[in-house]
Amino acid sequence: MNFNTKKYPILSFANSVKNLRLLPTTKLPQLCKELRKYLLDVISISHGHLASGLGVVEITVALHYIYNTPFDNLLWDIGHQSYPHKILTGRAKKIISIRKKNGLHPFPHREESQYDILSVGHASTSISAGLGLSVGAKKEGKNRKTICIIGDGAITAGMAFEAMNHAGQIQPDLLVILNDNQMSISKNTGALNKHLKFLRKFKKNNFFLTQSIFENLGFEYLGPFDGHNVLNLINIFKKIKVNKGIFLLHLVTKKGKGYLPAELDPIKWHSVPQSLCLSSKNVSYSDVFGSWLCEVARYDKKLIAITPAMCEGSGMLNFSRLFPNQYFDVAIAEQHAVTFAAGLAIAGYKPVVSIYSTFLQRAYDQIIHDVAFQKLSILFAIDRAGVVGNDGPTHQGIFDLAYLRCIPGIIIMTPSNENECRQMLYTGYMYKGGPSFVRYPKGNGIGVSLAPMNLIPLGKSVIKRIGYKIAILNFGVLLKEALKVANNLNTTLVDMRFVKPLDTSILLKVSSEYEFLVTVEEGVISGGAGSSVNEFIMMNKILVPVLNIGLPDVFLAQGSQKEIRHDYQLDAEGMEKKIFSWLSDF
């Protein structure tokens, strides 16, 4: 993409923060227009997060204009908002590569730029990290400022409140900017959202307001102000910068500002994935979950579905409209979502927690203590499990099998297609002995028909092909690729389906009948499904070589799912190479 001076005369000059600060303030409104236009042009080609960045253009320009970044600490919570920040901090020409293999990181990333103080991906971390930075700055004694820009959706999480509680106690030199656009990814919910509406209403009507919740927590509350008036923001930041203290600046913005379709539908335009431009006849796994949820809810009023602010992404939009009394969006609060489900289960209801693999990590303690330890019957529908792709290392769902497998008394299922996913959801929902987990990937299935719901025998695998010498044990959606390998090498192929409980009878059978075993999974090898096979083989003193195919001990960078699977040899070609290389040592 050509970043030319004719189309972007001011932005092309302000290609660094140093140059930005050379501009007279009268040029800043035009700079904001060009920045917004450039962002639209970039996203139309590269795809990626759009609406959030459009909403913080003026805030970004004003912050870099007034504060001495990167000496001053500027933290974005979360990185959906950071595209304008990347453009203004020397990455304008590279922004076209964002979310692509070997391109710019989707979110602020410390290894990418000195202006990215904190690497982020998950929400609600900025105030905690900012508090630590501000304490460090005070000890340093160089008058370094710390600014956290947090969305109104992210501030609802427990971690943000924990940080504000601590900040109110120690009173650091800290500015928290609340970007209030009434949206996270989905529409905001909760009592804090109502409180923000209350603050906006009283400001609009010029009523005298005594205190906000933030003042009660020890902050000096300022606002609400228009977050799209760049000249007014310049004046506000000038006044705050020369004062020490703990401030919360409430700025009202519009997600998708400057692009009418995004303003009217900020949920749809939160991100512009390349998949929107591609057609597929196959249904997505998220839609399989959503339709299954509606089907069960029609006859079971005890079903309660819970999501931590991911209604659309998890395929729950229709359910939320059809069954509003059985649906809870708890906002960005994964820990609360899990323990809330525990309370519902104790009360006699049948909770279903829909959550991305990467976000389930945030509720690990709650899964162990509040659910598994108490043997509560809760179904966890783990979306975006395995290689996710363009959102990069913070969003890859590759750790869930490893961190769940060690928890006593749980069921873990890995469907290999959309119909199997449907049957496993039903099986987990009907299981009464404790929590069950069904992990499925981002994207579409392989096109199999959906059958009526039936229970799957717990811990029972399915033999897909009979061959010689080698038995491939597949866990999950790589079955299609594993079948190609099995056909090419004339091996046996078993779809294991359950990581816990393992089908020990099939393991005893294949370990006695075949010379080599190969496990396949789309997750980390360390502690994953293949490791459970290794443990069984060793415990039973079986002398058979086992090759584990999965992901190595690394954080996966961004790229398409196809690219990442190819790079880590999780496609048929790569699996064959790994097997041949391994066999050459025997």
Model confidence band, residue 275 (pLDDT cutoffs 50, 70, 90): very low
Spatial neighbors of 541 by CB under 8 A, at least 6 apart, are none
Determine contact, residues 572/412, Cβ cutoff 8 Å: no
What residue segments make up the domains of the chain, in order of their start?
Answer: 9-264, 285-439, 462-584
122-161 confidence digits (pLDDT tens) = 888 999 999 999 999 999 999 999 999 998 678 888 899 9
Give the span between the Cα atoms of 363 and 375, in whole angstroms.
17
Residue whose pair of structure tokens reads 């708890």 in the numeric block: 330
pLDDT of residue 203: 60
What does residue 411 show for φ and ψ, rounded to 5 degrees?
A: -110, 130
Domain 9-264 and domain 462-584 have a common topology: yes
Give the span between the Cα atoms of 438 and 382, in whole angstroms.
6
Instruction: Provide the mean pLDDT of the chain.
Output: 91
* Domain 9-264 -> CATH class: alpha beta
Of 73, 61, 87, the closest CA to residue 231 belongs to 61
- Over range 222-248, report the average pLDDT: 96
CB count within 10 Å of CB 330 equals 20
pLDDT of residue 305: 97
Residue 278 has pLDDT above 50, yes or no: no
Per the rule left: phi > 0, alpha: psi between -120 and 50, beta: everything else, 75 is beta
Q: Which are the catalytic amino acids?
A: 255, 334, 362
pLDDT of residue 307: 96
Does 121 count as an annotated binding residue? yes
Does 503 count as an annotated binding residue? no
Does 123 count as an annotated binding residue? yes
Of 495, 528, 501, the closest CA to residue 397 belongs to 528
CB count within 10 Å of CB 216 equals 10
Model confidence band, residue 264 (pLDDT cutoffs 50, 70, 90): low
Give the span between the Cα atoms of 568 and 104, in whole angstroms.
20
Give the span between the Cα atoms of 418 and 445, in whole angstroms.
5
Rg, the chain, Cα only: 26
Give the span between the Cα atoms of 438 and 423, in whole angstroms.
10
Strand pairing partners for 151?
179
Determine contact, residues 106/76, Cβ cutoff 8 Å: no
pLDDT of residue 448: 93
Domain 285-439 adopts which CATH fold?
Rossmann fold (3.40.50)
Give the span between the Cα atoms of 99 and 105, in whole angstroms.
6
pLDDT over 90 percentage in the chain:
75
Model confidence band, residue 187 (pLDDT cutoffs 50, 70, 90): low
Does 395 count as an annotated binding residue? no
pLDDT of residue 181: 85
Model confidence band, residue 81 (pLDDT cutoffs 50, 70, 90): confident
Does 334 count as an annotated binding residue? yes
Does 122 count as an annotated binding residue? yes
Question: Residue 490's Cα: distance from chain center in Å?
Answer: 39
Please tell me whether the overall predicted TM-score, pTM, comes out greater than 0.85 for this model.
Answer: yes
Residue whose pair of structure tokens reads 């079948």 in the numeric block: 483
Give the span between the Cα atoms of 180 and 150, in whole angstroms.
9
Burial classification of residue 150, based on how many CB atoms lie within 10 Å of its CB (0-12 exposed, 13-18 middle, 19 or more buried): buried
* Domain 462-584 -> CATH class: alpha beta
Residue 265 has pLDDT above 70, yes or no: no
Spatial neighbors of 415 by CB under 8 A, at least 6 apart, are 421, 423, 424, 438, 440, 476, 477, 497
- Over range 531-548, report the average pLDDT: 97
Residue 271 has pLDDT above 90, yes or no: no
Question: What 3-state DSSP class applies to 492?
Answer: strand
Determine contact, residues 35/87, Cβ cutoff 8 Å: yes
Model confidence band, residue 273 (pLDDT cutoffs 50, 70, 90): low
In the structure encoding, which two tokens stand for residue 198, read together? Answer: 């209350």
Determine contact, residues 530/546, Cβ cutoff 8 Å: yes
Model confidence band, residue 255 (pLDDT cutoffs 50, 70, 90): confident
Determine contact, residues 342/378, Cβ cutoff 8 Å: yes
Residue 468 has pLDDT above 80, yes or no: yes
Model confidence band, residue 49 (pLDDT cutoffs 50, 70, 90): low
Residue whose pair of structure tokens reads 């977050």 in the numeric block: 227
| DSSP code at position 183 | B
pLDDT of residue 2: 60
